[in-house]
């Protein structure tokens, strides 16, 4: 299955947009909490591509805390780009593994190789999502975490029906069905210990930069275009990781009041951008 080609730009241009930086910070906090709670020392992310923006940087929170990070992809060009980011910019160790697109159901790792295996929003980009889910269970010795876009929230339907119909014509929406994912994981030997939502900012999830959304909606406004472009509209997680914008986390996370609200996840699901399952090997 093909993936959008926007990832090429982000291998050198780290300006991701406010929504993506927010998504990454919320996810990082969640992953770091898991790391501390369960003593995670080794991690497998497969595929490394799922979140838009800069590919392959969601495991930085693990690597900076001395966990061994392995990531898998079926695109050699993307792996080379991610390797450069980790070696030249992040200066952190990582094991990047290339597989053939047909081999997502046969990952090249022994049983119980990692403390934690996971994927974020990547299932509908690969050829064998069910096989990968089973492999995430097989290769984990403890925890498995799986998340996909939330198919009931407003931005998902805006994207599907109006601004990005081509994407949905080419990708299988079955893999946003959390019930289906749960069944496959449980049949593979996983006990689900937590279900919930993540990434609940006050804006809808359109994936695209705000200026592109306006263009696709046919909205032409010089004032709005200026508001969402230019030097004043630069949002880069890498700038935070590299110490160039140390206050970025605080500036972005002021929008996290819905994520942090003490509400049942089922209520947040009306607006949340992603749903997830967390399980332990039986």
2 located within any domain: no
| Residues of the chain predicted below pLDDT 70 | 1-4, 205-233
CATH code: domain of residue 93: 3.40.50.150
154 located within any domain: yes
1 located within any domain: no
* Per-residue model confidence (pLDDT) at position 227: 46
181 located within any domain: yes
* Per-residue model confidence (pLDDT) at position 222: 53
141 located within any domain: yes
112 located within any domain: yes
* Per-residue model confidence (pLDDT) at position 217: 45
* Per-residue model confidence (pLDDT) at position 158: 79
* Per-residue model confidence (pLDDT) at position 81: 97
* Per-residue model confidence (pLDDT) at position 3: 55
> Could you tell me which residues come within 8 angstroms of residue 270 by beta carbon, excluding any fewer than 6 positions away?
152, 153
Number of independent structural domains in the chain: 1
235 located within any domain: yes
Domain limits at 268?
Answer: 7-281
* Per-residue model confidence (pLDDT) at position 220: 55
257 class by beta-carbon count within 10 Å (0-12 exposed, 13-18 middle, 19+ buried): exposed
33 located within any domain: yes
């Amino acid at each position: 299955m093909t993936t959008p080609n926007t990832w090429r730009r982000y291998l050198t241009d780290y300006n991701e947009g406010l929504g993506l930086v927010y998504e990454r910070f919320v996810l990082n906090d969640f992953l770091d909490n898991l790391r501390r709670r369960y003593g995670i020392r080794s991690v497998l992310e497969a595929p490394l591509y799922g979140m838009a923006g800069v590919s392959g940087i969601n495991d930085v929170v693990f690597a900076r805390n001395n966990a061994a990070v392995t990531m898998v992809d079926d695109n050699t060009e993307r792996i080379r780009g991610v390797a450069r980011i980790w070696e030249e910019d992040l200066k952190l160790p990582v094991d990047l593994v290339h597989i053939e697109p047909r081999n997502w159901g046969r990952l090249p790792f022994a049983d119980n190789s990692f403390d934690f295996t996971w994927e974020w929003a990547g299932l509908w980009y690969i050829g064998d999502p069910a096989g990968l889910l089973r492999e995430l269970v097989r290769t984990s010795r403890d925890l498995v975490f799986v998340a996909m876009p939330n198919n009931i929230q407003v931005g998902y339907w805006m994207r599907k029906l109006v601004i990005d119909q081509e994407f949905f014509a080419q990708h299988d929406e079955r893999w946003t069905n959390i019930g289906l994912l749960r069944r496959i994981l449980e049949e593979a030997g996983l006990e689900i210990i937590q279900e919930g939502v993540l990434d609940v900012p006050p804006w809808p999830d359109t994936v695209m930069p705000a200026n592109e959304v306006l263009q696709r909606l046919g909205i032409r406004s010089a004032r709005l275009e200026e508001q969402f472009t230019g030097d004043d509209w630069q949002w880069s997680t890498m700038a935070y990781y590299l110490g160039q914008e140390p206050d970025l986390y605080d500036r972005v996370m002021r929008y996290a009041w819905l994520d942090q609200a003490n509400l049942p996840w089922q209520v947040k699901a009306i607006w949340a951008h992603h749903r997830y399952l967390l399980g332990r090997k039986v």
